[in-house]
Chain A
């Protein structure tokens, strides 16, 4: 017999209570892990999308806030109120390459899909896309669509087929090579076609800009502002404001998870208090057999620590499973589309796994302190006299 074996025998003696307490901590840690890994992949995704956008500056409607900037990265629908005249006047500035986008959403088979109106030649040049099947647009106002690779896979579409957008049947010209970003899940239309389908006149949603001389970024920003009166942000500013939005969401989610873990901790306190009460006489017997207070304390601490360790382990497994399984079903919005885009592989963050198990064990040990202290404080006679 060893102390550990004794702990294990004690803990499994009341199966129902063992299972329910474990379930409590499992759920707490699982929600913690789910939110942590979702938040983590959200951040990674934001960095990736910002890089995939490939812009030094982004021109957005005046008075736009972080949320619009987030929409650019997520492919959400955006207002279209940058006019063709404004795009032209930006183009007149020396040393900038301007690529306008019309960001819209449509649905195929009732599933939402991002639709992007582009200037075919300028965008191809800017994004350096590869074509994996079919062909690219051949004229600026061709009647047809290009599919991102993931969109083609999701809806089982091929060049030669067609898609219906806003009630109009459009031929599929080709499929883009994999980019690893949002573009994969997007359907691209020539700008004039998109503007007609979405009643956008000659307006666009935003414009991505690459500058010739990065050292003079500030000067370009100023020039665009003066020329058009539109909002201009650098890629770094955009990253900052988007990350701060995501950070707020993350903290909120983590607080919810923390509440779940705290509730679970009280479950452990409860179970351990019941155990000290039930085993009062056994504590007395152990003391009569020579157990010191420290041994009794350790016995109970090990028991609650064991809950923490096992609960942490099962919590991590459930949490990762939930994060992996649930993300594709989370409804489309600016925050969650990013997560949707990310592969499940990025959810398996070793840091999160280890810190969650550690966290769980820590919570359980703290939860076990009071009951263990109560148990160790019993005098042998108090414990023996108890029936």
Chain B
């Protein structure tokens, strides 16, 4: 249980837009243990999302290395990276997580479709996951017919679709009131108890309170 599932070695990311170069992440080395519940906090614009994108394989570091388990993901080819995202990692973003044209159930099915799961199985599992997040009766609702909190729960259900080890959530409760936030947190704690590694970026003290560990990001670096 105590081996690191996520590891970064001197990870750095610079963005260049036109003439301007931004060092979003300067030098980050960290380890996140399997089955842990970690919060990443820090001021706005200091590199939290950038760090999440790197450890989730959505982006590649400008320098340094990123490991998921034993795999060094900063150098693997695009299609392998895509497969890793689909099968080992579940993402939840702050908003607009769901495909607007599809129902809650279809949104979950999509993740399984991309992993090559057959249709009847997609459907069965999607319904189970919706029940798990307490939205069984909303299977046929489109995102526009769901509240913000419900949408985030669907996004979490979808993140679980391919039974990943790691859940990465970038301000999942950023747009929610405290009641909805508490619901999401309870859900995440339950998933954590089942063995998922949970990493959350948050500005919320309520969220941070529940974490086993807090990583502070400041100015592209890990603050003590």
What is the interface of chain A, defined by CB distance below 8 A to chain B?
1-3, 6, 9-10, 13, 281-282, 285-295, 379-381, 384, 387
Contacts and interface: CB of A to CB of B under 8 A. Distances in A.
Contact of B58 (A292, A294, A380): A380
24 contacts: A1-B106, A1-B110, A1-B119, A2-B119, A6-B110, A9-B102, A13-B101, A281-B96, A282-B100, A285-B93, A285-B96, A287-B58, A288-B58, A290-B86, A290-B87, A290-B111, A290-B162, A291-B82, A291-B114, A292-B83, A293-B78, A379-B59, A380-B53, A384-B58
A384 B93 contact: yes
B113 A2 contact: yes
A375 to B, nearest CB: 14
Given A1-B110, A281-B96, A285-B99, A290 B115 contact: yes
Contacts of A290: 82-83, 85-87, 111, 114-115, 162
Interface string B85-119: 11100010100111111100010011111110001
B172 interface: no
B110 A286 contact: yes
A1 B122 contact: yes
B7 interface: no
B32 to A, nearest CB: 19
Interface string B157-181: 0100010000000000000000000
Contacts of B85: 287-290, 380
> What DSSP secondary structure best describes chain B's contact surface?
helix
B3 interface: no
A286 B102 contact: no
Contacts of A286: 99, 110, 114
Nearest to A380: B58
A3 B119 CA distance: 11
Contacts of B162: 290
A286 B85 CA distance: 10
Contacts of A3: 113
Contacts of A281: 96
Say which size band chain B's interface belongs to. Answer: 20 to 34
A122 B96 CA distance: 87
Given A290-B82, A290-B162, A381 B99 contact: no
Nearest to A385: B49
B167 to A, nearest CB: 12
Nearest to B97: A285
Nearest to A289: B111
B220 interface: no
A288 B101 contact: no
Given A9-B102, A290-B85, 14 more contacts: A1-B119, A6-B110, A6-B113, A13-B101, A285-B96, A286-B99, A286-B114, A287-B58, A287-B82, A289-B111, A290-B83, A292-B79, A380-B53, A381-B58
Nearest to B116: A290
Contacts of A1: 102, 106, 109-110, 112-113, 119, 122
A306 to B, nearest CB: 15
A384 B97 CA distance: 9
A381 B93 CA distance: 12
Tell me which of B56, B58, B59 has the highest count of chain A C-beta atoms within 10 A of its own C-beta.
B58
Contacts of A387: 96
A152 to B, nearest CB: 61
Contacts of B87: 290
Contact of B101 (A10, A285, A380): A10
Contacts of B115: 290
A295 B116 CA distance: 12
Contacts of B97: 285
Contacts of A6: 102, 110, 113
Nearest to B110: A1
B82 to A, nearest CB: 4
